[in-house]
Chain A
Amino acid sequence: MAKRIEVSGLHAYYGGTHAIEDISMTIEPRSVTAFIGPSGCGKSTFLRTLNRMHEVIPGARVEGKVMLDDEDLYDSSVDPVAVRRVVGMVFQRPNPFPTMSIYDNVAAGLKLNGVRGKRRLDEIVEESLRGANLWNEVKDRLGKPGAGLSGGQQQRLCIARAIAVQPQVLLMDEPCSALDPISTLAIEDLIGKLKSQYTIVIVTHNMQQAARVSDRTAFFNIAGTGKPGKLIEIDDTSKIFTNPEQKGTEDYITGRFG
């Protein structure tokens, strides 16, 4: 069920602002790919083009191709809503639906996909919460509001919600930046477990995290304020952190930046 992503010649814009320029890369299935780079370099924007969430912002648009196996996500016949059902997303701040219970949060996407029947829903909800390493902590309070959990639990709830619909790709936009180290460790363990089933792309500001969880790492950078972000290089994580091809990458990962 995991799929390969192949991006070629991708540009993204916010109104008149050119946010990212000419990005091409291949993301392998059943692997974790990390995006690193300074703030404002377009890595989150690029991530959001992979499930067509970029265009949710008024005035935002995308040029180029994103192939999910052999389908172009930006083909005019493709419905963005259908894209988001196969490419799931986890955000920087945990965002469970505040008025819904833990159970309903996980079931929300299933209901959108027309999954009916209490027994079937119960099964998938349990499976997803187990998949997100959250089941044991919440199994006795599934009817309680999701907003009552701790930040780390909320983020795992959001991951459970995203994997409940069995997406082919899971995008994570700095999923641990609002969490404490213990919760971060829990999420990182989870990523390691999930990659056997999903294609995972994670944006992170934490280079140790990228080194710990990812198989491949992409480094993004900008030439200066107002300039579009670019992909500098993408390679195996071990290579990026020990012997990168580009001087810019080396400067960034060793902290000699700017």
Chain B
Amino acid sequence: MTSETPAALAKAAERPRPALSMSTGRAGDRIFAGLSRGSGLVILAIMAAIAVFLVWKAIPALQDDKANFLTSQEWNPDGAPAKFGIAQLVFGTLMTSVLALVMAVPVAVGIALFITYYAPRRLAGVMAYLVDLLAAVPSIVYGLWGLNFLVTKMTGVSGFLNSYFGWIPLFGGSETGGRTILTAAIVLAIMILPIISAITREVFVQVPHAHVEAALALGATRWEMIRMSVLPFGRSGMVSAAMLGLGRALGETIAVAMVLSTTAGIDWHILKDGGNTFAANIANTFAMSGPTGRSALIASGLVLFVITLLVNVGARAVVARRKEFS
């Protein structure tokens, strides 16, 4: 081997070398940079166009509004005088989404932990695939399932919760039903489960092996190891996953529109038929609205746009903060 090395080195030295002045593939570089810069600008332009469109179309209705747009619970933009406000829509949207989040996050984290740290490898692959498949089910199918199956079952569940847990304010009240905020929240929870679970799973997989072994070598059981190493590492990832799930729940339209039987006004009793959300209100009433009505719906859409934007910005901020630690 020693005799071959000088010969090989000499051969390598003879190979032609590119001159420093020779530029290789500059044109390709420039084209690619232009294309990617263009794509980036298109996104900004689309965002701006949506915002401008919403504001532009919303202004006429907002000028006609005889009620307080932010605090009124009424939605009667085509009446004379036009009176409408978003208070109950904000309430219904946040209530269904937050309830969905409260139900979905523990289950999603549990699924992610099971897949990454408990399940045998083959089962884990199948489970991960099934959870991802949940994300591919169209929301109209969730709506149909919610309306035709879950609503009938939830009538009984609501009655049960009301009679035994009625002392909890949210479960109180004198009426119960199936087409409730709670039912909508359950459908939403199932819909946001896959995204939360997929992102947390990804974070859990990235937990450095050294941290896992550090805990195990101290004599931690598997659950103690998860508490010492996995959850602290994954905390910000879980927060951003939950925020992305929240963003999806806030904007979900058709499944909620099908499940809820919309009524006017804010009602804290989530076992009672009724409630309304921004997206469901738009889907249910857009077709039969007059010009002011449509403009008013667009104004409500603008508010939803701002809320989801804030949630996503919040999620990004959490993710960005995490970078400082890694």
**A interface residues (Cβ-Cβ under 8 A, vs B):** 51, 53, 56, 58, 81-85, 88-89, 91, 93, 95-100, 108-109, 112-113, 158, 161-162, 165
Q: How far is the CA of A59 from the CA of B215 in the complex (A)?
A: 20
A100 to B218, CA, bound (A): 15
A-facing mask of B78-106, CB < 8 A → 1, else 0? 00000000000000000000000000000
**Complex-state Cα separation, A56 to B213, whole angstroms:** 8
* Chain B residues near A85 (CB-CB < 8 A): 218-219
- The smallest beta-carbon distance between A111 and chain B, in angstroms, is 9
Is the Cβ of A97 less than 8 Å from the Cβ of B214?
Answer: yes
Partner of B217, one of A82, A88, A96: A88
> Chain B 190-229 against A: per-residue CB contact (8 Å), 1 yes, 0 no?
0000000000000000001011111111111100100011
Contacting B219 at CB < 8 Å: which of A100, A109, A158? A109
* A53-B216, A56-B216, A97-B211 given; A81·B221 CB < 8 A: yes
- A–B pairs, 28, beta carbons within 8 Å: A53-B213, A53-B216, A53-B217, A58-B121, A81-B219, A81-B221, A83-B219, A84-B216, A84-B217, A84-B218, A85-B219, A91-B210, A93-B210, A95-B213, A96-B214, A97-B215, A97-B229, A98-B211, A98-B325, A99-B325, A100-B232, A108-B228, A112-B218, A112-B219, A112-B220, A112-B224, A158-B214, A165-B219
Beyond contacts A51-B217, A108-B218: 12 other A-B pairs, Cβ-Cβ < 8 A, are: A81-B221, A83-B219, A84-B217, A84-B219, A85-B218, A85-B219, A95-B211, A97-B232, A98-B211, A99-B232, A99-B235, A99-B325
- Whether, in the assembled complex, B171 has its beta carbon less than 8 Å from a beta carbon of chain A, the answer is no
Report yes or no: A165 in contact with B218, Cβ–Cβ below 8 A: yes
Tell me if B's interface is mostly helix, strand, loop or mixed: helix
Q: Tell whether, in the assembled complex, residue B219 and residue A113 are in contact, meaning their CB atoms are under 8 Å apart.
A: yes
B-to-A contact residues, CB < 8 Å: 121, 208, 210-221, 224, 228-229, 232-233, 235, 325
7 closest Cβ pairs, A-B complex: A85-B219, A99-B232, A95-B210, A89-B217, A109-B218, A84-B219, A95-B214
Determine the residue in chain B with the shortest Cβ distance to A84: B219
What B residues does A99 contact at CB under 8 A? 232-233, 235, 325
Taking CB atoms, residues of chain A closer than 8 Å to B208 are 95
Which residues on the B side are within 8 Å of A112 (C-beta)? 218-220, 224
How long is the Cα–Cα vector from A91 to B218 in the complex, in angstroms? 12
Whether the pair B233, A98 counts as a contact (CB closer than 8 A) is yes
**Residues of the B chain whose Cβ atoms lie less than 8 Å from the Cβ of A109:** 218-219
From A56, A93, A162, contact of B218 by CB (8 A) = A162
* Bound complex: CA A161 to CA B208 (Å): 19
Please give, as numbers and ranges, the residues of chain A lying within 8 Å of B228 by CB-CB distance: 97, 108
Least Cβ distance of B209 to chain A in Å? 9
> Within the assembled complex, what's the spacing in Å between the Cα atoms of A112 and B219?
8
- Closest partner residue, chain B, to A158 (CB atom): B214
Q: Which residues of B contact A161 (CB under 8 A)?
A: 218
**B214 vs chain A, min Cβ distance (A):** 4
Docked complex Cα distance between A53 and B218 (Å): 10
Tell me the minimal C-beta distance from B144 to chain A in angstroms.
Answer: 41
A173 CA / B208 CA spacing, docked (Å) = 18
Given A97-B228, A98-B211, A81 contacting B220 (CB threshold 8 A) = yes
Closest to A147 in B: B325
Chain A residues, CB < 8 A from B219: 81-85, 109, 112-113, 165
Complex contacts, A95 vs chain B, CB 8 Å: 208, 210-211, 213-214
Name the A residues within 8 Å of B216 (CB-CB). 53, 56, 84
Residue of chain B at shortest CB distance from A53: B217
Shortest distance between the CB of A106 and any CB in chain B (Å): 11
- Chain A nearest CB from B38 CB (Å) reads 40
Q: Chain B residues near A93 (CB, 8 Å)?
A: 210
Cα of A241 to Cα of B325 in the assembled complex, Å: 45
Residue of A nearest to B218 (CB): A109
Contacts of B217 in A (CB 8 A): 51, 53, 84, 88-89, 91, 162
List of A residues within 8 angstroms of B121 by Cβ: 58
Distance A96 CA – B232 CA, assembled complex (angstroms): 13
Instruction: State the CA gap A53–B219 with chains docked (Å).
Output: 10
